[in-house]
Amino acid sequence: MRKRRPGPFALNIRDIEHRAGEMRQETIDVSAAEKWGEGLVAVAEGENVHVRVRLESVHEGILVSGKVDTTYEGLCSRCLNDVAAPVEVEFQELFAYPGDEATDFEVQDDHVDLETLVRDAIVLSLPFQPVCQPDCPGLDPATGERLTGSSGEEQPEPIDPRWAGLQDYPSDHDDDAPRVGVENTEKS
């Protein structure tokens, strides 16, 4: 019986089938048809997946080896900020000619379908505990706010209340920095 028709990761290998020693290279660019991965980070649906592959005809079938790269995104496991990073994985698998014995991957209808191979390689390489930066300090246990210092500045010591007013002097940068305390009082 025929299985499902070739998908976007299927490559026609008719030209090298049963011709041991023949070799060919291919490149595939596909948008992931669904989300890959179930953890804090995953390859999003629609993300571009780039595959470079070498197809070698060997006696038992087609030896497929290559690299896949794409981008994962999700949440930092410490501070829950968004994270996104490239990921590249190598893979190699023999797609056997059908008949001899059951194998995970088979040549079907003059095709090798790399989807499961490529997806599993990527999913297994996704970090279980992704971080937005290697030294992400996570959340403040007291306030639950992010400790991530975007500018690399140290968190200042608690301000002496006598100086707190100075903190509200307008500064020409960091407009987005959260401010607490007195509002700008118009001193003449």
**Residues at the site binding Zn ion, with contacts judged by CB under 5 A:** 76, 78-79, 81, 132, 136
Residue among 108 and 148 whose Cβ is closer to Zn ion: 148
The least distance separating Zn ion from the CB of residue 31, rounded to whole angstroms, comes to: 28
Residue type, 93: E
Nearer to Zn ion, 111 or 146 (CB): 146
- Residues 26, 118: contact at Cβ < 8 Å? no
| CA proximity to 42, closest of 52, 50, 32 | 32
Least CB distance from residue 138 to Zn ion, whole Å? 6
For Zn ion, the closer of residues 96 and 136 by Cβ is 136
Q: Helices in 36-178 by DSSP H: which ranges?
A: 115-125, 161-167
CA dihedral 147→126→53→112, nearest 10 degrees, is -150
Q: Which is nearer to Zn ion, 53 or 136 (CB)?
A: 136
Q: Which is nearer to Zn ion, 98 or 137 (CB)?
A: 137
In order of 55, 56, 128, the CA distances from 106 in angstroms are 14, 14, 31
Locate 14 and state its tokens: 């008719």
Q: List, in order, residues 6 or more apart from 179 with CB less than 8 Å away.
A: 167, 168
